[in-house]
Each structure stands twice: as C-alpha cells, then as structure tokens.
Structure 1
Amino acid sequence: MGKPQIFIAKEAGCSQSAVSKHVNRKLSGRKKYERKRCTTNRENRSLERHVKQNRFRNLGELHKEWTEAGVKASRATTQRRVKEFGYSHIPLVKPLLNHRQRQRHLTWAKKKKKKWTVAQWSKVLFSDESKFCISFGNQGPRVWRKGGEAHSPSCLKSSVKFPQSVMIWGAMSSAGVGPLCFSKTKVTAPIYKEILELSSADQLFKDADYIFQQDLAPAHTAKSTKSWLNDHGVGVLDWPANSPDLNPIENLRGIVKRKMRNKRPKIADELKASVKETWAYIPPQQCHRLITSMPRQTEAVINAKGAPTKY
C-alpha cells in the first residue's frame, strides 16, 4: 500500500526493525525453513510397517514397539507420524465370512450374477427384517452448549437400558417401496407366512413376473415357508449366506434411520408411526438408484475374491 515502515510497525504493534526484516525477507525471496524432523524417513517407514502388521494396535503399543527399536521419539511424535500416513482409527463393521462363505460369494457373483443387467435386477423384489429402537445409539445431532452446561437437562441425551423397539419387514424394488409389516415378536415361520400373505409384490410389479429375494434366516428356509412359496408360484432368488451387504434394502434402512435422527419418539407407537411415515416418503427414484448399483456390487465381490466390499 506504499505505507512507511514506522506506520506499519505502529499498526502491527511491533518494532520497525521487525518490519524491515520481514519486508527485506519477502523482497529477497528467502524461504522459511521448517524445523528439522527428529525422525528419519527410514524410521518412519519402520513405524508404518508396525501399523500394517496389526491394524488394531493402540497408540501406546505402537509407540513402545517403535522406541524399543532404537527410535528416539515422543508419544506425540508417534501420533503425528501415524496421522501423516493417512490412517484412520474407526473400523467399519462388516459380516464375518469364513473361507467357505467367501468361496460361495465369489461363485455366486462370478458364475451366476456377473452377466445380470440392471433390467434383470429390476425384476427382483428385495426384502429384509429390521429392528428400530427409540434410542439410536450414538447417532444423532450434536448439541450446542457452553462450558459447565454438560449436565444441563436441555443438553442431555437420554438413554435407557432396554429401549422400546419395533420389528419391521419391508420390501423394495426399482419401482419403489412396499408397505411395511410390523411384528411385536421375533419373526418365526408362522409369522413370516402371515407377512408374505400381505406381501407388496402385487403392488410393485402388478401382473409382471418377479423374483423374490430373502436371506437364509431360519424362518425363511423352513419347510412350511418353502411350501407356501411353491404353492403360490413365487420364484426365489438364490442368495449366499451371511451377505447383508449385498442387499440394497440395507442401504435403504440406513437412509430411513438417518432421516429419523431429528425425530424423538418417546413410546413404541410414536416410533412405529415415525418409521412408517419416513418409509412412505422414500421416492421410487432413490430405490432405482440403489438397484442400478447391483452390477457394480457384483463386480466388487469378484474383485475382492468373495470378501466384504465397500457396499
């Protein structure tokens, strides 16, 4: 701005010599040198190897192993280095798959469903049971509070030991969602047959042919259930065991729970009404987007050799 150094020093609250050094440094193009790091690149690589050997080691264990190898670094330095590597400390929860289940996942994706198109997946009626509780765990919005207001009633999030809950059965396809069926108890074979009587297949597909998807829960694989499906001419999609991450209705359930975060039902009837209302407002376009991801999910299973995928 063309101001003299005396004016700049007065405005900045420093000496004129400090202003002069700063200006001369900028004009001369001198670079600011960073503080010398206390660990070498070789030592940093050894720390990264320790992280990769066991992903569930805590920071104290990593720091102990690293320093026992002769590295002189503080615990804070260890934490900074791990952060620089780009590692996260929150694991994702995926179903546990043994070797046989992984092989069946791979066979299912590679030999049976690899060539399926979006049009074929659109003819599948996906279904699943799910449990909704009044307390949604740690999910929910944050609270705005000042220091000392942690125990204020308006800033507390209530929790109960055995929260009220509702068990639902729902179905979806690329055409949208069907009506929900509520159950007060665990879904058994007789209860499941009653649910199937109220199935939403006719509403979603009308007179068109469809394939029904269900997991391998005991109520689904019971002889009475299989007999009911055969008597009603319902074709069932072959489905690998322990594979909820392949079912797009699982993603739909997560969407419903996220939309219900700001709702605070106090009794089971309010929870039931809230779930029903949120489910009914899911647009068909959202269901169609989930169905269009099925070819990508199948390809991801093949690439992962049957192991859990990002879906």
Structure 2
Amino acid sequence: MGKTADLTAVQKAIIDTLKQEGKTQKDISERIGCSQSAVSRHLSGKSVGRKKCGRKRCTTRRGDRTLRKIVEKDRFQTLGDLRKQWTESGVETSRATVYRRVQEMGYRCRIPQVKPLLNQKQRQKRLTWSTEKQHWTVAQWSKVLFSDESKFCMSFGNQGARVWRKTGQREMPKCLKSSVKYPQSVMVWGAMSAAGVGPLCLIKGKVNAASYQEILEHFIPPSAEKLYGDEDFIFQHDLAPAHSAKTTGKWFTDHGITVLNWPANSPDLNPVENLWDIVKRNLRDKRPNTLDELKAAIEASWASITPQQCHRLTASMPRRTEAVISAKGFPTKY
C-alpha cells in the first residue's frame, strides 16, 4: 500500500491519532500496514489522491441536454444528422463524441419493430373496444375461437445462418446465399382457442369472399368440435375484405355463429399472431429448400403447438386490452 490514494478514511484517522501520541512514521506505517511514504504524504497534506487523467470533457451539460432534445425529436436520424443539428445549435464536435453522448444517455441503435399505421379514428375504436372488453375474464376469452391468415415464404430475409469465408471468397458459390425475385410462398389459415389449435388450412390462390367461405365451411366445424365439443363459442377474425363481405356475414348468420366485433389494424390483440411467430422461428431453424418441404414444415410446426401455449396466450387478453388503454389506442408490445 504505497499509494496515498490507497489510504482509507479510517487509516487516515488512525495516522492522525498515532501521530498525536508521538509515534514515528515508521511505527505508524507498521501499525496500519501501509508504506512509510504514504504516512508521510498524508501528514504533509499532500494526500489528495491522483489527479484525473484523460482528455477534458469537450461538451457541457447544457450542450448534452440540447442533443437529447434533438434525438427525441426524431428517433430515426443518423449520427451524421445528429451531429449536423448539434453543430447548428452551437456545439462543434465529432461523430465519435455524438455516439458516446447518445450512448451515455441510454440510447442504442436497434432495428425498429414494425407496427400498423393507425389513424385517429382507428385508435379511438381500439380504445373503445378495449374499454368495453376491459373486464372480460379469462373464462370469457376462452369462449373465443381466434383465427387469422398468414403468408410464409421460402426466403427468410437476413435472419438465419451466417457464412464463414476468407478474403477473396465473397463470390465463391459455396459462400453465396441464393435469392429469387419472387420467392415461392404458402398462404395458410388457422384457428386457436385456450384449448389448443384447430386443423391448419393450406390456401390455394388468393383469398376472396368465396374462397374464404369455403375455408370456413370445411375448417370451422372440425375446429369447433376439437376445441369446444358441444359448447357455444364466439368466432373472431379481422376486418380483411373477404371477412367483411356481406356474403361472409350471411354465412355466419345462416350457420348460427356469433362473430366478435373487432377493431381495424389490431394484430396485437390477436394471439394467433404469436403462433405465426412461433412457426416462423421454427422454419428459420429447419431452412426448407422446396415448396413441399415448406408446407410440411409449417404443418409440423403448427401441430407441435401445445394447449398450454394457447392457454397462456388466451390468458394474456386482459393484459392486451389494458395495454391498449394505457397506450390510448396506439400499438402495444404484443
């Protein structure tokens, strides 16, 4: 312990006491276990510790507050944009300093989540709907048969496996990831309740009112039988044109099925969306290479979804409605 900075407040107090008792610096250093030079520096008043090292901070707190306002005004600006606006406000600095300051403020550059664009009317309808359903219990939500369509492509974007290559191997065939302009895809329809998932429908062609009614005709009865038996249920779907068609509404009336009113652009309120995410994550691991492999992988992943997973998602509905109310109709984390 030769450095003055190593002395604690207690050690310094002991040094002062022992000095008053007439002890020598050597005796004191041996008594408290530090070097004699440390005792000497403390007694001579030089024990002020090390001076701060490194460059002096080039921005002021006021300047940093200005940067925070610039960042919060538009979260999608680049470092170059932030630096330009900060310079225009009177703070001349480098990109590196801008980066350090926004890091110090707790900001991190991340890929933004994609959420539906909601206008004021849609937000109000979401808020009204959530307020009406705010006190629904999990038992009530368990009576709802949630449904949705989703598209699965052979291409999985930038996610998935990376490639190990050396300099100069960028164009080597073994190091290339194949892509096509219009990747093959599969459209599917599925339904779930708190009891599990119903049979999955692989859709051929585009979904219009007529084809959608065929899906309902062939897949609602087995889904209802599996998940509800003889009990009544409420059917949920979004406001896609095929769903909102008058002929589709007549189909439900003719079959005596109650349809849950639903706010537009609200995938965060539909737990089936979470099931699609589960299926797509599984596909990224399996990496199907043909359309048949893609279809088989989708069906296998859907079939592997457990009733426990579906029950947890259904049980989240009260939290989802609360989240919409808290967000005043704006998109939520779900």
Q: Same fold (TM over 0.5)?
A: yes
C-alpha distance in structure 2 between counterparts of 1:80 and 1:67, whole Å: 16
- Say whether residues 1:95 and 2:116 are aligned partners: yes
More divergent stretch after superposition (275-284 vs 65-74): 65-74
More divergent stretch after superposition (138-147 vs 194-203): 138-147
C-alpha distance in structure 2 between counterparts of 1:293 and 1:279, whole Å: 20
Contact kept in structure 1, 2:118 and 2:330, CA below 8 Å: yes
Letter in structure 2 aligned against 1:288? H
Shift of the 73–25 alpha-carbon distance from structure 1 to 2, 3 Å rule, reads farther
- Say whether residues 1:212 and 2:235 are aligned partners: yes
C-alpha distance in structure 2 between counterparts of 1:238 and 1:221, whole Å: 11
Which of residues 297, 300, 303 is equivalent to 1:274? 297
C-alpha distance in structure 1 between counterparts of 2:193 and 2:129, whole Å: 20
Q: How does 1:172-251 map to 2 (within 5 A)?
A: 172-198=192-218, 199=220, 200-251=223-274
Name the counterpart of 2:46. none
Task: Classify the secondary structure of the residue corresponding to 2:301.
Answer: helix
Task: Classify the secondary structure of the residue corresponding to 1:126.
Answer: strand
Task: Classify the secondary structure of the residue corresponding to 1:168.
Answer: strand
Task: Classify the secondary structure of the residue corresponding to 1:125.
Answer: strand
More divergent stretch after superposition (205-214 vs 53-62): 53-62
Question: 1:150 Cα shift?
Answer: 3.8
C-alpha distance in structure 1 between counterparts of 2:53 and 2:176, whole Å: 45
Name the counterpart of 1:265. 288
Which of residues 80, 91, 94 is equivalent to 1:74? 94
- Structure 1 residue ranges without an equivalent (≥5): 1-21
Question: 1:224 Cα shift?
Answer: 1.5
- Larger relative contact order (C-alpha < 8 A, sep ≥ 6)? 1
Question: 1:144 Cα shift?
Answer: 4.0
Task: Classify the secondary structure of the residue corresponding to 1:169.
Answer: strand
Deviations 1:200-252 (A, max 9, x none): 12211111111000001111111211111111111101100111121111111
Shift of the 116–157 alpha-carbon distance from structure 1 to 2, 3 Å rule, reads same
More divergent stretch after superposition (40-49 vs 154-163): 154-163
What percentage of residue pairs aligned between the two structures are identical? 64
- Larger radius of gyration between Structure 1 and Structure 2: 2
- Structure 2 residue ranges without an equivalent (≥5): 9-48
- Say whether residues 1:299 and 2:322 are aligned partners: yes
Name the counterpart of 2:138. 118
Name the counterpart of 1:14. none
Equivalent residues, number = 289
Question: 1:196 Cα shift?
Answer: 0.6
Letter in structure 1 aligned against 2:190? G
Provide TM-score, normalisation by structure 1: 0.88
Q: How does 1:127-142 map to 2 (within 5 A)?
A: 127-142=147-162
